[in-house]
Structures are given as C-alpha cells and as structure tokens.
Chain A
C-alpha cells in the first residue's frame, strides 16, 4: 500500500525556491527614476523639460567656463589667449581679474602689509564663537578650533605677519584650545572681550582706547555692586550713569595719558580704507551680534503689559520696517552730517553699522515675537506657578523655547542682513559686489569685464550664507527635545 500510495502522492516540494530578483522595472535606480521622475505623463513631460533646460544652460555656460584664463594682465590679453588656445571666436571667462585684484575684493584699500590683522581678527572671532555656537559638543568644538587656528596661523604667515605678533597669536590660539578642552565656559570670558580686541585689530591705534571703554563697563559693574547694597532700586541707574560719565568724560583723556605713559599702539587704519569682504563681514558680524539681543528686547517689550514700553516698541518696529534700508543708509551718511556740529568726525562704518543693526533688530523682534506667540499659555503659567519673577521666567523657561522655535526665522534674518550689506555701495563705501567691481572696471585694463567678478563674489557669499543655513539646521536637530 505504501508502494502504491507512494506513487499516487502528488509532488511535494521539499526546498524553498530561491527568491527571484524583482523585475528590473521595480528595482534600483530604474525604480527610483520611475517613482520620482516618470511616474505619470505630467511628471514625464516636466522631467524632460527640466533636463532640456539644464542642458541648455550648461551647454552654453560650460565652454565659457572651461576656457577660463587665470594668467593675464588685461581683458585684451585674456581675449588674445582665448583666441590663440581655442580658436577665433571662442568665448571664455577671464578670471585673471580676480587673480590680480583678489586682495581688493577681500580687503578693499586696507594696507597690504597689515592684511594679517583682519585675518587674525577673523580667526580669533572663530575662537570666540566656538564656545557659543558649539557649546554642547566637545568634538565639533575641538575640530572647529583646531582647523580655524591652523588655517589662521598658516594664512597669517603667508600674508607676512611680524614674528612677535605671530608668537602672540599662536600662544593665544593654543591657549584657547587648551582652555576649551578643560573648561569651555572659561572661554566665554574671551568671547566677551573679543569685541574690543577685534575692533583694535581692525582699526589699530592705541590699545588704551578699547581698554578704557572696557574700564567703563568695569566701573559700571562696580557701581552696581556698591549701590545695590544701599539702594537696590537705583543700582541699574547708578551703573549706567557711572559708565557713561566715565566713557564720555574721561575715557578719551585717560587713554591719551596712558598712551603717553606706556605706548601700546599699532598702525591705525582709517574707515575709508575698508572695503570688499572685510567691510561686508565687519558690518555683517557687528549687525548680527547686536541685532539679536536688541531684537529680543524689542520682542519682549512689544508683548509687555506696560503701555509706554509697548507703544514705543511698536512705533520703533513699525517705523523701521516701513522704511527701506537704503533710505536709512542715506540718512546715516548724508543727513546726519547736517545735524551734527561741523567738524564732528562720526565714523561712516559705525553709522552704517548702527543703521543696519536697527533695521535687522526690527525684523528680528517680529521673528522672535512669533516664537513667543507659539508657546502654549501653560508655559507662562507654569513659570508663574514656580514663583519665578519676570526676568527669571523669560530666561529659564520662555526664551529658550521661543528662540528654539524661531531659529529658522532668525537665521533667515541674519542671512538677509548679511547680503544687504552690499547696499552700502550707495553711500560711497566699497562693497564687494558693486563698489569694488566698479573701480576695477574703471581701470582700462579690465573695462568690459562683467560676469567674472559677480561669479567670484557670489560664490563667496554663497559659501558664507550656506554655512549659516547649515549651522541653523544643525542647531535645530541638536535642540529638538520633543519629537525624537
């Protein structure tokens, strides 16, 4: 029976079939293409159209770019080289203009032998920013510090930094890295001192000037401590008055006297020698650093219950947002001259920085107000329930959350402001985009050059703005506490 049975039992598969590969249309790149680019007739047409446009642009642009000339003394020579190498009628880019004038695009009319100073100021800025921007990650901070220190020192050496300054700079950089490894919060002291150091490096002159301004802060703090014991209510007012009196009345003379006693000065550089990216970055960094705290204060003031504070803040914000930046710059450069007593020398870069800061702060205030409005009411009530006073509640509960929400908007404002620095060309300052290019073209050797400077300047702007944007995304990821 078993025999018979065995012959009638139907076929039983004892091993599994090996899995077949998916059909070629449903795997790998083909699948991706089908799903994303050719999923239907509309998508297919759009894709083909897109490819055609890209091909059109690249095929026109590429030969011009591929025929770039980097070594020539004039546009005419560039044309000659292109015609010789690629035949008559070939088009080509003449980047030789960048090669000859890159230093003016970077530094404007800053004295060439002092180029190391802005560079050092920039490198130290990175050191000062590292503990603020990368406070949570030791590894990233280490990488940023080491890379910027090495790059700064090597470039400074290439730009001919004097040996004593090089030794000082190297010591400072290595010291900063060592401090950052052990006690990163200590590095914040350097960040607080950096504005004075940066200004001194950029504009030069006597070290006593910035030191005396610093002293006014110190005296103000001292006044605060002393008066706070006797009359707590007047402490803030006393601190501000003491600081201002010292600053306006005595700081200048004290700096002069000390300079006579112990000369500590480097070659001064006037504001009109600034230009190019040095100018854009100086205005941009100062504007960013000043507009954020000012924007926060304005946003808080606008949400305040106090009528006067609120209406002043609303008026300021709405006025500044309602006026184009260019008109504010014209006011800064032209109209102010009529109101100030004749002979007053109110630095043009300082005037522009003030206007740009006010402008960015108004936008910043609205961005942060959006963040404040997005917080659930329970957060405010929780802060009250904990018995925190107004400032503690803002500092510990409200602002950390509101600022986190506002990060994309804040960074957008920063990026917009940095790009707006090119508008200073209208008040006769040499911004990298138009100001420098205009006078480079005014030299007959480079007259007729058009796209190359734009591409060069645009590329640098892109690098800076893209880094800011990437940093903001990094920060958002790092601060995302709730949706993990």
Chain B
C-alpha cells in the first residue's frame, strides 16, 4: 500500500482544494452517468460476465446510487481500478465513487482525504490449511510457511498477529489471488491467508473443498465500504443514505418484490418515510421523493443483494455473520430515517 499512499499524498497536496470544492451531484446529473470505481475482478464482489455486464456485491452499491440519483441503475460506467490506482482515481476525480472492497482505515480516511461513508461488508483475515496438516487453530501455525499477498494490509496483519503470539512464520510472497491458490495447491506453503470472504470463495472453487479447512481465528478487522472524496458532504450523504436505505429496507421487510405493494399499503411510518409516501426526505439531499424506493428496486434490499451474490445459496456460501442485521446479532444498523 506504500505506493498508493505516496500517490494519494501527492494527490492530496496538489489539488485538495480544487477537487474538494467540486459539486459531484451536479456533475453526475449533468453527465447522466455515475462513474464507479470497482475491482478489476473479485469473486462475488465485482466481475463482468461473458457479455461484459458487471455484477456483484460492490456493483449493487453503484447501481443503488445511480438509481437514486439518476433514476436508472444501468446508468453506471464501471472503471476497473487496481490496488495501486484506486485511491488516486478517486481523489483525482476520475471516478465519483469507489465501491471496491477497500478497508476503512484511519490513514485512508484522514491522510488520503477520502470519506468512507459506510461499511457494506465486515470482513476479516483468516487462514486456510489442508486437512491433512491436522491444524485446528491458527495458534498452532508456529514455524509454518504461509502464502501471503504482498503490498496489502493482510501482510501487516499477519506480521502483527504472529508477533503478538510470539510465533514465527516463513512467508511465501505471491502477487495475486490466482497465484496464491496455485502455490497453495502445489504445496509451496502450509497455509494460505487472505480475507475470510476470499478464502471461502477460493475453497469453494477447489476440486476437493472437503480436504481444506478455514481456521476459526479471524486476525484482523477489515470493514469494507464505499468511499468518496473528502469535502463534498452532500455527495457523501447521498451515497451513505442510498446504502442505508438498502439496510433499512431489509430491517423493515421491504424487498424488491413487495415494494410497490408496500408503497400503497404499509402502515409503518418508518417505511412510509423511507419510500417517500409521507415526508420528503429526498429534498434534504437534493433528490426527489422516491429516491430510496428506486435504490431498493435496483437490486433489492441489503439481504437480497447478499443472498444473490455471496450468500449461502451461492457457490461462495458465506454466512451472514457480522453482516447480519443488528436485530439478528450482526452489525448492520441503519440510522433512523427521520
């Protein structure tokens, strides 16, 4: 991350004022298109299909914002960004919004002049080992060789964790997820470490997933969320509340299927405010009454998006865990729409 930090600082120093004053909402409306920075390809989160249509958990955030601002979830231009280019692409104004499984950290939020508006996925770093190894806990990995992606926060977390537990390890540096899987399968390392969501997807794609186990320890906090440029508070509000509309919709049982019916029939005042039946919340953020309704219609509420892209019914099969609603013991908690 050093390179992106450096480039990001260059960004911040050179043009922090100029870009910061920009009115992103007006730009997006004038352009008629939302430019969304996404991953160049991450299973379940962002990937184009054979016809070039993007889909995934992060893509759904872009679609929801486009739907609430422009009225059409398809009016998004996806700009694939790499780990090195993502933050500069945002701060230089190349993209309006970064929905690219980026971890919300202190220095990114402050020093890089970004604004993480919410957390759409609570991830954490885990380990995968072959079952034959007989390891049941990360605490037993003393002296192990570990495949680790260089230049990421996972590398630092790994060093911290082993130091804290007074253990040693032998790193096998890899460049990408695909290479990591290859090295791990070839037996070049005893354990493979990356974000737990990535581990689950990797394991599910193996020829014999039952021969590999994901260890229970999660050694880091990786709150992934959409980010915007610091200084354009209205735009940050729009992205934040477009996302929270999805979370609130799940909490109140509003789905893409029953939403039209609920607009007419719901007696719940919170739902009525959310869907623009009563009150005009949209006017407070420069949008019309039905902004949240359109955001939810784009690809469903938070639960529907989760289930469709990475949930237990998909091959990736992630449980809701921390990403369940607060009422279900998770951390997804939308502030009141009032």
Contacts and interface: CB of A to CB of B under 8 A. Distances in A.
B10 A338 contact: yes
A442 B15 contact: no
A444 B48 contact: no
Given A75-B205, A334-B7, A444 B80 contact: no
B43 interface: yes
Interface string A65-103: 000000000010001000000000000000000001101
B43 A272 contact: no
A447 interface: yes
A247 interface: no
Contacts of A456: none
A19 interface: no
Given A101-B50, A428-B85, A448-B205, A435 B40 contact: yes
A59 interface: no
A330 interface: yes
A211 interface: no
Contacts of B44: 444
Interface string A404-436: 000000000000000000000111101000110
Contacts of B333: none
Contacts of A441: 41, 43, 177-178
A145 B1 CA distance: 51
Nearest to A100: B50
A438 B176 contact: yes
A32 interface: no
Interface stretch (B87-95, B153-161, B216-224): B87-95
A447 B205 contact: yes
A283 B317 CA distance: 41
Interface in B183-221: 201-202, 204-207
Given A338-B10, A444-B44, A333 B206 contact: no
Contacts of A79: 207
A444 B92 contact: no
A272 B93 CA distance: 16
Given A428-B79, A428-B85, A450 B7 contact: no
A33 to B, nearest CB: 37
Nearest to B7: A334
A442 B42 contact: yes
B85 A342 contact: no
Interface string B46-62: 11111110000000000
A291 interface: no
B43 A443 contact: yes
Given A109-B52, A427-B85, A444-B315, A439 B181 contact: no
A337 B40 contact: no
B85 A333 contact: yes
A100 to B, nearest CB: 6
B14 interface: yes
B178 A337 contact: no
Contacts of A333: 85
Question: Counting chain A CB atoms within 10 Å of each CB, which of B7, B39, B178 scores highest?
Answer: B178
A338 B14 contact: yes
Given A444-B201, A447-B202, A342 B7 contact: no
Contact of A335 (B10, B42, B201, B316): B10
Contact of B40 (A100, A101, A439, A448): A439
A101 B48 CA distance: 11
B320 interface: no
Contacts, number: 104
Contact of A443 (B49, B176, B177): B49
Interface residues of A, number: 35
A398 interface: no
Given A448-B205, A448-B206, A337 B50 contact: no
B266 interface: no
Given A330-B84, A437-B178, A448-B205, A442 B43 contact: yes
B105 interface: no
B206 A442 contact: no
A440 interface: yes
Given A330-B84, A334-B85, A338-B11, A438 B178 contact: yes
Contacts of A104: 50, 52
Given A444-B205, A448-B181, A272 B79 contact: yes
B260 to A, nearest CB: 31
Given A338-B14, A437-B178, A447-B205, A428 B82 contact: yes
Interface string B220-257: 00000000000000000000000000000000000000
Contacts of B206: 448
B40 A438 contact: yes
B22 A342 contact: yes
A160 B85 CA distance: 37
Contacts of A112: 51
Interface string A440-466: 111110011010000000000000000
A75 B314 CA distance: 16
A272 B39 CA distance: 14
A239 B324 CA distance: 69
A118 B212 CA distance: 46
B313 to A, nearest CB: 12
Interface string B102-140: 000000000000000000000000000000000000000
B77 to A, nearest CB: 7
B82 A426 contact: yes
Nearest to B80: A428
A276 to B, nearest CB: 11
A333 B95 CA distance: 13
A443 B89 contact: no
A335 B225 CA distance: 25
A330 B50 contact: no
18 contacts: A79-B207, A337-B88, A337-B92, A337-B94, A338-B92, A342-B18, A342-B93, A428-B79, A428-B80, A428-B89, A439-B40, A439-B41, A439-B47, A439-B80, A442-B40, A442-B43, A448-B202, A450-B178
Interface of A: 75, 79, 100-101, 103-104, 109, 112, 272, 330, 333-335, 337-338, 342-343, 425-428, 430, 434-435, 437-444, 447-448, 450
Given A104-B50, A330-B85, 5 more contacts: A79-B207, A101-B50, A338-B11, A440-B41, A448-B202
Across the A-B interface, the 6 shortest Cβ-Cβ residue pairs: A442-B41, A439-B41, A442-B47, A337-B92, A447-B205, A448-B205
